[in-house]
Structure 1
Amino acid sequence: MNRPIWTLPLSENTIVKLKKQGFKCCEDLIDLPDGTSHLKGFVETENEIREMLKCPQSKTASELDTNRDCIATFSKGIDDLLNGGVQLGQLTELTGAPGSGKSQICMQLCVAVQIPSCFEGLEAEAIYVDTNSNFSRHRLTEMMDAFLGHVSKVLSKPNEFKGANINLLKSLTTASMLDKIHRIKMNDLNHLYALYDVIEQHPKVKLIVVDSFVMPLYTVENSLKKNALVHNALDLLLGIAHKHGIAVVLTNDLTTVVNEKEAEVFPALGETFAHRVHYRLLLSKIPNIPNGYTALLKKSMEHERSAARFLISTEGVRDLQRIE
């Protein structure tokens, strides 16, 4: 199939002039011995012309997906489950029983999203929607102190960074990092529209945490109203994620469903909710291993169901095997 001339990165006026000269496809120019000469005066160099006329390299949807920016969890095992980390522009659900590490991972992500670009980080900010009072400045401070301690060790090595990057990293403090996490206390999902104002005031936001998504729904008795709240909130969050390239992380509880044979435990809000998120991790405590946890991948666009072990220490979320 021939490539239309209008697909070249040229102005509309230039495209019109080329069409008037009889060129409708890129191949018309390539096939002529002096074809590129017809573009001179519209671009700067011969090499630039030839680069434009090259056929674009094909990529699969999966390959394009892997090029998305992401936020590290500080556990390589969990990052591998999520195709490199929590993905920007996507919804990730963390579900599990109380004490399974959901809020800990959320707070760790609020630290990780601020990693400077010279460390291949996003150097961004976070919004923490707190519906159940799990947000803890003290816990965040512990995680930040651990991160800054690691940065200090890296900076102590000679010739590791240029002076500008050293000055940037030295300006990082626990106080400055806390200022880049914008907490919103909320008990009604209808109030999520406030996110628009916060994003407008803080355009560097690349992470939104809703911890927990299900908590405000416990007081809603009407099932139709509850379903409407859930889907309206998800529509809003998906729209923000896609438009602004923001990673959205939701925490969800477990609920017990009793059937004729036995009682089974499932994430709350049912399968309809699961279809709206891109990734789902089921978190649980590992018996007989202090501070040891498991993350089970229940839904992913890239990987089959698999699991990773992680540890929650004073420093934050880490790989279990690296600490043992």
Structure 2
Amino acid sequence: MSRVSLDTFPFSPSQLSVLHNSGFNFAEDLERISPSDLAEELECTIEKAHDILKIYKAFSGKESKQDSSEISQQFKEVQLSHKFQSTSAWELLQHHASMPTIPTLCEELDTALGKGIPFGTITEFCGSPGTGKTQIAMQLCLAVQLPAFHCGESPEAVYIDTEGSFMPDRVEAMAKSLVSSIPECPSIEVLLSRIFVFRTHTHTTLIATIKSMTQFLQSHPNVRLVVVDSISACLRHAFTNDGQQRMRIIHDIGSSLQNIARQNNVAVVCTNQVTTKPFPSSSTASSSSSSSSPSPPSPSPLPFGTSQSGEARLVPALGDSWTQSVTHRIALKMCLDPSTQLPIRIATVLKSPVSVFSLSIPFVITEQGLRSASTMELSSIQTLSPTPHSPRSPPKTSQRISSPIGDE
């Protein structure tokens, strides 16, 4: 049986450093040690030792009976003290209508999301490389600061960069466009100074950054947006030999981001990569069917589409463990306008409680940032890094389509 490294647990960097320096490298090293003994070994206070063991027990699923009884007692106290109150659907509707949102600056996409990127939930943009995920993420850090959308007083943004994709020069170019076109927009220096960038390289530092985000938000109450670009970069190839551990970590990250969104009423936006998921082809299914009884219907095609072989589909990475944490999911793909041969991108709403499934919106990435394709003359668009793809007619208005995210 493989030994589980403590690096896979959501300890803070300082906790991991203390543990490793004292010879604690694997989960089994903490299995039977008491808080007082651990405090002596680590040369720290018993409170810090207790915090370390609490994280270990919660993450490894080894809470003691005493811990379980304490939770039960707390639940009973809540039942006795809490006054359960309900809210009418009309009141919730009025509250939702009055809540501000972060604009994507693409009117059709904002409408599909019910006004824009909402606060208190996780919104995901997924797609193949070059479809505009990072461009959207960087632009949202600027859009949240626009005074016209009332996202808060001097609103700020957090950008957790796991791939090294955050480009300050590109953000500056987007900011120049906003400053020149919006009279009340803050200066370029102010816009960029309100974006806090965290660079993470491994799943351990990503987990530690997310775990410490609540404390950071307490000291920076004006933060209204937290971006993770991308959520899957550090996790896709981690724990390949331990699927259960990988699922627990992904679920824990999703729960932590949900708590950050709800408890601080901030918008959490994550970009996600796509992966290939094999499906039986129609020829394989027909050849394997030897009985005369009718075969069960094949699964309906996903909006991601199928590969040319028809035996695989592009799906968002990280699986169902992560999907359950996402409230809004938008898939991005790229194609070419047949008349201008310029790239045009399609945003397809795959999951949203306020939108129609598979509602698709054409958009473009210009020097100024994300813009609606229907309100711009395609022949005059200066696009960023055109990528060769086979010609494909883009939809001129929002519509339902089922086509691949990319042509890879």
TM-score by length of structure 2 reads: 0.58
C-alpha separation in 2, matches of 1:58 and 1:211? 35
C-alpha separation in 2, matches of 1:66 and 1:226? 38
* 2:207 aligned residue: 190
* 1:200 aligned residue: 218
Q: Deviation of residue 61 (structure 1)? A: 4.4
C-alpha separation in 2, matches of 1:304 and 1:275? 19
C-alpha distance 58-130 of structure 1, shift in aligned 2 (>3 A):
closer
C-alpha separation in 2, matches of 1:109 and 1:211? 12
CA contact (8 A) 1:78 1:85 kept: yes
Cα deviation code 1:250-277 (max 9, x no counterpart): 1111111112211111111223422221
Partner AA of 2:336 in structure 1: P
C-alpha distance 247-58 of structure 1, shift in aligned 2 (>3 A):
closer
C-alpha separation in 1, matches of 2:151 and 2:373? 23
* 1:264 aligned residue: 313
C-alpha separation in 2, matches of 1:297 and 1:284? 12
C-alpha separation in 1, matches of 2:236 and 2:89? 48
* 1:295 aligned residue: 347
Alignment partner of 2:193 out of 179, 186, 189: 179
Partner AA of 1:256 in structure 2: T
C-alpha distance 57-252 of structure 1, shift in aligned 2 (>3 A):
closer
Q: Quick one: percent identity of the two aligned structures?
A: 29
* 2:98 aligned residue: 67
Greater mean deviation of Cα atoms: 210-219 or 88-97:
210-219
C-alpha separation in 1, matches of 2:343 and 2:171? 18
Count of residue correspondences: 251
What SS does the corresponding residue of 2:90 show, helix, strand or coil?
A: coil
CA contact (8 A) 1:102 1:283 kept: yes
CA contact (8 A) 1:125 1:180 kept: yes
What SS does the corresponding residue of 1:87 show, helix, strand or coil?
A: coil
Q: Deviation of residue 198 (structure 1)? A: 2.2
Cα deviation code 1:52-95 (max 9, x no counterpart): xxxx9971645543333210011111111111000000110110
Matched, 1:237 2:254: no
Matched, 1:252 2:269: no
C-alpha separation in 2, matches of 1:264 and 1:225? 26
C-alpha separation in 2, matches of 1:232 and 1:213? 13
Structural RMSD (CA): 1.9
C-alpha separation in 2, matches of 1:130 and 1:244? 21
Matched, 1:314 2:367: yes
**Gaps in structure 1 of 5+ consecutive residues:** 1-55, 153-168
Matched, 1:96 2:96: no
C-alpha separation in 1, matches of 2:111 and 2:173? 25
C-alpha separation in 1, matches of 2:221 and 2:366? 32
C-alpha separation in 1, matches of 2:237 and 2:330? 25
CA contact (8 A) 1:105 1:317 kept: yes
What SS does the corresponding residue of 1:241 show, helix, strand or coil?
A: helix
CA contact (8 A) 1:291 1:313 kept: no
Matched, 1:209 2:227: yes
C-alpha separation in 1, matches of 2:167 and 2:119? 24
C-alpha separation in 1, matches of 2:89 and 2:352? 24
Partner AA of 1:109 in structure 2: L
Cα deviation code 1:138-192 (max 9, x no counterpart): 110011000000124xxxxxxxxxxxxxxxx47x221111110000011323221
Partner AA of 2:235 in structure 1: L
What SS does the corresponding residue of 1:225 show, helix, strand or coil?
A: helix
C-alpha separation in 2, matches of 1:195 and 1:89? 15
TM-score by length of structure 1 reads: 0.73
Cα deviation code 1:188-226 (max 9, x no counterpart): 232211212321221100000000000111341222221
C-alpha separation in 1, matches of 2:236 and 2:345? 27
* 1:280 aligned residue: 329
Q: Deviation of residue 119 (structure 1)? A: 5.6
C-alpha distance 131-301 of structure 1, shift in aligned 2 (>3 A):
same
Cα deviation code 1:285-316 (max 9, x no counterpart): 12235242110000111221211111100001
C-alpha separation in 2, matches of 1:209 and 1:274? 17
C-alpha separation in 1, matches of 2:149 and 2:271? 28
Partner AA of 2:344 in structure 1: G
**Gaps in structure 2 of 5+ consecutive residues:** 1-86, 282-310, 378-408
C-alpha separation in 1, matches of 2:133 and 2:164? 13
* 1:45 aligned residue: none
